[in-house]
Amino acid sequence: MSTVKEVGAYEAKTHLPELLRQVRRGQHYRITVRGEPVAELVPLGAAAKREASQAVMEMQQLMRDTGQIPVPSGTLRNWVEEGRD
């Protein structure tokens, strides 16, 4: 189950135990008030993973927009070690 289902706040309140059972199985819910999304009910850890993924995509876009080139792996460590000599 990876699709996001929308549910109204009243329905979410009324059926919370069932929604939580579904969330444990991987279902995601977007809770709305008068049709406007106000919250998401997702499995624990899913939001953090999504935020981390979004942050990586934003950094990659920033690097493309500014013409920055990523530093190759290990280069920073080498620079630090050279500075200690």
Cβ-based burial of 79 (10 A; exposed 0-12, middle 13-18, buried ≥19)? exposed
d(C-alpha 54, C-alpha 60), whole Å: 10
The phi, psi pair for 31, rounded to 5°, reads -95, 130
Lowest mean per-residue pLDDT among 11-15, 32-36, 43-47, 67-71:
67-71
Q: Where are the domains of the chain?
A: 4-69
pLDDT at 20 over 60: yes
Q: Over the stretch 35-58, which tens digit does the pLDDT of each residue have?
A: 999 999 998 877 777 777 778 788
More confident residue, 8 or 50: 8
30, exposed or middle or buried, with CB in 10 Å at 0-12, 13-18, 19+?
A: middle
Q: What architecture is the 4-69 domain classified under in CATH?
A: 3-Layer(aba) Sandwich (3.40)
- Judge contact between 58 and 35, C-beta under 8 A: no
Band of pLDDT at residue 60, cut at 50, 70 and 90: confident
